[in-house]
Structure 1
């Protein structure tokens, strides 16, 4: 019997209506975004609603996602915007 593959986790960025970027992790970023849009899941969106899921990055497991989230949160806004732009270019 082989060990089960760890469930993939994701780090994501959501743009708020005021232009700010929120960074989080989830095993289902689309579902988490819907939660943010409904005003639940993070106090961050109480003052400015979630408007778009703008960046998603797959990670091996929850531990890796947490490490990546920490590193993204330390980036400047300009560097976070560069991640969003690079993801948009790849999607085209």
Structure 2
């Protein structure tokens, strides 16, 4: 099952993405092999994850989160701390 995740970048910005393997994807981000956005803002840290039932649901959740204002994203990070998705 896929995960929606949020990374905090060096400049304090937040990056939202989806993956089926959180630890592999975070490693790709940390080594500059995942996206141009995070490559320019290294290092990144995993701040939040949520497992969802389907890829379709992951895309919808990613879109919903990306549409949030910054303060709403920060509130989301504080209401649900990072799940132990990295070890799954």
Instruction: Supply the RMSD in Å over aligned alpha carbons.
Output: 1.8
Which residue does 2:27 correspond to in 1? 34
TM-score, normalisation: structure 1: 0.84
Which residue does 1:3 correspond to in 2? none
Q: Which runs of 5+ in 2 are unaligned?
A: none
* Maintained 8 Å contact 2:38/2:44: no
Q: Which runs of 5+ in 1 are unaligned?
A: 1-7
TM-score, normalisation: structure 2: 0.87
Aligned residues: 84
